[in-house]
Structure 1
Amino acid sequence: MTALGFLYPGHSADDDYPRIEQLLGSDIRVELVHTDLGEEAHRLDAQGAHSAARLAAEVQELRHAGADAVVWASTSGGFVQGWDGAQDQVRTLAQAAGMPASSTSFGFVHAVRELGARRVAVGATYPQEVAQLFAQFLRSDGVDVVSVRGSGGTPAGEVGGWGEAELLAFARESDHPEAEALLLPGTDLHTAAHIPALEKELGKPVLTANQVTVWEALRLADRRVNAPELGALFTREPIVQA
């Protein structure tokens, strides 16, 4: 049994995680601990709540639950720290947890590498200035971000209520013809049930935050799972070649 631990802000799309657990197989357990930031997560002036010390204190519940790895499941709570700050954040988290640690922000970087994608588009449920910080974070690792679309900071509770129609519309509006993959970095989006539909609609891999977060935890735990219902990232072979 592999236990994956997650620190998730608020409750907007937390039910993606048990859904993903069901798709992964019976020998993988998902443990979720909620932080109390909620829908303020996308405000730059709220990012002090994402301090490494605070996360380190909250991770103890996952440690006691026997998690093999932990991921901070807030994309913006990582990348707004900048590359070096995000590294310090997960380093502190790993030391406090006594297990491998990462964040959704780094999960996106590693997932883009996994797919072999060279050029990506970003569709973010953040204000444009915050979405641009995510693009800057990706570029720090050499990713070519060809377009960035922010939603204007739609509240997490609102985007958490989007169904497949709204999600597909947002993905179409965010895509770019030169992009080899589309990235949707908001962990407040329900996407676990819609990834095949997104990829079919766009004809390319789509990386979504909760999907990437679980994949990153599996990577830390040295597990690889073939789960086509979770998209190209969870197939045995990347469908985009470097």
Structure 2
Amino acid sequence: MPRHFGILVPSTNTTCEIEFCRLPAELQVHTGRLGKGGNTPFSPSLDADVAYQAKLLGEARVEVIALAQTSASLFADDYDAVTVKRMTEASGVPSLTSAEAIGRALKALKASRVAMATPYSEEVIGRARRYYETKYGIAVVASESLGADNAYAIGKMDAGVAEAAFRRIDRPDVDALVVPGGNFPTMDWIAAWERQFGKPVITTNQAALWLVLQTMKVDTPLPGKGRLLEQLPTG
């Protein structure tokens, strides 16, 4: 019996649908696209679009909806709570944000000190540092911006640039490596990175998928996508 879930992505995102479609046939994704509410690559999406597209996904009878735009959650302290409520009220199903999913995944893996390689600007990395420290008690002890200046550039980035950044920022006191950015194609690299660096690697789309599976109470491991989706820790 197929299980159906929804994702909401910024209109410029060309990665999420590809990564979420490479799943077993029983896990089927349905997507809604959102207009930008600002003029930067990391601006939150339009609230009205979030509500409308969530409503349409609800009509498709998905079981849960994930907003795959991690940076949106970093711009207001109450963004997750307000937006999850908006999505759930519009759709009638549980909802989540990918920023929340990363925080919960790190807690589930008992990772309290992380290094972050991301397309985000230094200013947005600062917001991410504050978000994960205040909401989840997770310290971003090292970080590197990969320097993308627009959403289209992020979608075309080679994941190898994150691996090179990991070599520069990883250190013994880092519990996990984090790659925020739903439009950054990284899912196929996670398992190899974990073997190379000997610690968990968490990405936006991987963490969102993990929390989607938790919400749907699906406990089938997904090999090759990192220990988060292979071990399916609860949290």
Q: Which amino acid aligns with 1:22?
A: R
Are 2:21 and 1:31 aligned?
Answer: no
Aligned equivalent of 1:4: 5
Aligned equivalent of 1:170: 165
How many angstroms does 1:54 deviate by?
3.4
RMSD, aligned CA: 2.3
Q: How many residue pairs align between the two structures?
A: 231
Aligned equivalent of 1:138: 132
CA distance in 2, matches of 1:60, 1:188: 23
CA distance in 2, matches of 1:18, 1:121: 26
Aligned equivalent of 1:98: 92
Deviation digits for residues 166-218 of structure 1, max 9, x if unmatched? Answer: 33223333434321101111111101211112212222111011111221211
Change (3 A) 1:19 1:42: closer
The equivalences for 1:122-201 within 5 A come to 122-140=116-134, 141-201=136-196
CA distance in 2, matches of 1:27, 1:186: 26
Q: Which amino acid aligns with 2:3?
A: T
Q: Is the 8 A contact 2:182 2:204 kept in 1?
A: yes
What is the TM-score when the length of structure 1 is the normalising length?
0.86
What is the TM-score when the length of structure 2 is the normalising length?
0.88
Q: Which amino acid aligns with 1:122?
A: M
How many angstroms does 1:151 deviate by?
3.1
Aligned equivalent of 1:22: 22
CA distance in 2, matches of 1:50, 1:26: 32
**Unaligned ranges ≥5, structure 2:** none
Change (3 A) 1:110 1:50: farther
CA distance in 2, matches of 1:36, 1:130: 20
The 3-state SS of whatever aligns with 1:116 is coil
CA distance in 1, matches of 2:193, 2:218: 25
CA distance in 2, matches of 1:158, 1:232: 28
Name the stretch that deviates more: 187-196 or 228-237.
228-237
Change (3 A) 1:91 1:98: same
How many angstroms does 1:17 deviate by?
3.6
Are 2:227 and 1:227 aligned?
Answer: no
The 3-state SS of whatever aligns with 1:177 is coil
CA distance in 2, matches of 1:142, 1:65: 36
Aligned equivalent of 2:51: 56
**Unaligned ranges ≥5, structure 1:** none
Q: Which amino acid aligns with 1:171?
A: F
Deviation digits for residues 54-106 of structure 1, max 9, x if unmatched? Answer: 31122122112221000111001122222x23211111211111000010010
Greater relative CO, 1 or 2 (CA 8 Å, sep 6+): 1
**What is the percentage of aligned positions where both structures have the same residue?**
25
